[in-house]
Amino acid sequence: AVYGPLLPRTVEVRAAGVRVMSDKQKPEIGAVGWFDLTVDDAETVRDFYEQVVGWTWQGHDMGDYEDYMMSTPGGRGVAGVCHARGPNVGLPPHWMLYVNVADLDESLARCKAMGGEQLGEVREMGAYGRVVYVKDPAGAALALIQPPA
């Protein structure tokens, strides 16, 4: 994920980066909070969305490469375009949605009990909370994210 899953209404994009806003605007549990697209050639896909839908982009240093946060022309972050490297190795090339949950461990246990499947390990995302990728019983992948308390 580019900056970890972010809710567009809970972040403000500035030239210096991303700043989390007030506690009054906590992520809504059960809401889709972010979208990432993981692909082999993130630059080509980044440029596609810049030209086709008018998104602007901001690079996010991933060490030896950059992923990209895509924003509306007004500066509201709406999605990430990521390379299929590092923490994103093995993710399928489709729009991954991140759903906010109150208790990641409980939601993951319920996912498995209901016929879902865990994809990889639970990851700590620092100021963005904890995330895990799962498949539902039909095989559709999504991310569950528990925002920080």
The 10s digit of each residue's pLDDT in 112-127 is 999 999 999 999 988 8
* Token code pair at residue 39: 């692909």
What pLDDT digit, counting tens, does each position of 84-111 carry? 998 888 888 889 999 999 999 999 999 9
* Token code pair at residue 112: 């498995």
What pLDDT digit, counting tens, does each position of 31-60 carry? 998 999 999 999 999 999 999 999 999 999
Which residue in the block uniquely carries the two structure tokens 């990851």?
Answer: 123
Q: Could you tell me which of 26, 39, 15, 17 has the C-alpha nearest to residue 128? A: 26
